[in-house]
Structure 1
């Protein structure tokens, strides 16, 4: 019978150290740093791009600023890469919506249901008429 030692379980020093950054974070920070460096090199850095100004900006603001600069400079590949990083924070994903809809034959409806349907149609048509008139 073989005995496996030091296999699995919690071990000191195992895994990624706390606070370390993953690959996508490192890539995103590198893109931002490169864009800001190009702004300084082009001489268009303003007061926002001082060390104090940058530290006051959120990561999203830095990425947005860098994306705008890249787009204005015509570097669309870099701007698109930054836009891809920003998009989840600016635009909510559309969610799947489930509805419980029953389609009924009009001949199976009661008089009360028909009256309610007609009143809804007239209210909707009045709103359309008001929009066309205004």
Structure 2
């Protein structure tokens, strides 16, 4: 089967966001199997979700259950963003995760010009990803 992200949404500015949420993450230590496994699992979710999305956008898969914005996706003009949200993390903890995720997704993000960001609760609010009562 496919591993997929939590949700996908489009904003009015032609941005498409693939969002994965985690409650925590392992610490990025040298030769950490747990950290590498965490990054690999998150990367697979982004890659599988993006490929399924593209298959639908290209008419290879049915998108009738998807929202109107997704059905009307214009691949040539859209900006794609992969967002990993870990609400309880400090800002200082985000950069090593983001660097590792970018490294693991290197081919995909460079081939398709995709942005990758790792966000905590504060930064996720800037993207309007969290309800006010979170």
Larger radius of gyration: 1
TM range (shorter): under 0.3
By percentage of residues, which structure has more helix? 1
Work out which structure has the larger RCO, using CA pairs closer than 8 Å and 6 or more positions apart in sequence. 2
TM-score calculated relative to the size of structure 2: 0.24
What TM-score, normalized to structure 1?
Answer: 0.24
